[in-house]
Structure 1
């Protein structure tokens, strides 16, 4: 069985919207797109490249898919570590409206998300990767289908924008499995899902 792995860029206040450019995602009047670019460095680039090199297939939300499909098919350099994987490996997009995707190798998933993703994991040998697609990632966490989360936290606060974990997110416990901070201050951390949260109290016992 394959492993379902998510990689996401977020700000310190949890915003994942529009990291790559001003016009990438302007929903709700968002005007701060491109916030990750000034803080990207060689270290974070190597990390993301390493992630892509482990991909066997991609699972994407509709918005991320549209952003990728508008750009990556035009990148034809076989040495490009992102284009070479995205253009040749199977891609699955979750959508109730997409009918005839033009990007080669794309399959639309429009049925029962839990059943379809579980089936994908069962027939994938290595990593089934989700990039961006914050709403989809939340759904996969709630369904307990996501295995690993790579969270790249950039040292910037925006104060607005779509947040990765808003109110209503399924309570979930994670286990930290590795990470470090780059020279520009980007925190690269990896977590495995570990089930439901555990609770306790710092109250002193009555006889203390």
Structure 2
């Protein structure tokens, strides 16, 4: 493929997409800027017209991933109504679906070692997806008196961790992937056990 230098129609996005493919294939830290430039059809020098370096490029891929993720989580939360429990469980299933459909974004977001505060834009996008899960948590605990209500940020973070664990172990071809149950069932039952333990849902829900 001939080099197109910086005369590329949308070089910035082409580089992001090239990086996401490399991340999916080689992991967040197994590729170089030169490889991304080559796959985008430009010279390595052209990369620096848009990104300070590889971490900056990964951070942009992560930012875009969080934007997609937040949209999926919002859709799942709204579709899960009228039941607060159904809405909460729907956000967990959306986590699994996102990891499967957007593996490059997912790895840039959660496996690259970059802080969510790497850039202001990334921090803002990451906050959007967290806020959706916290809204679901707040709706689920509305029936509990305020003085007995667990902080939504706490138990939404626990559910996030549970979702992440199911994704890593059973939904992405990693060790332990041959689970006796579908990942969605594992996550739903885990959420149910956890929420019953907190008294957020009745034993028969």
TM-score bin (small chain): under 0.3
Scaled by the length of structure 1, the TM-score of the pair is 0.22
Larger Rg computed on CA atoms = 2
Q: Which has the higher contact order (CA 8 A, sep 6+)?
A: 1
Scaled by the length of structure 2, the TM-score of the pair is 0.23
Identify the structure with the greater strand proportion: 1
Identify the structure with the greater helix proportion: 2
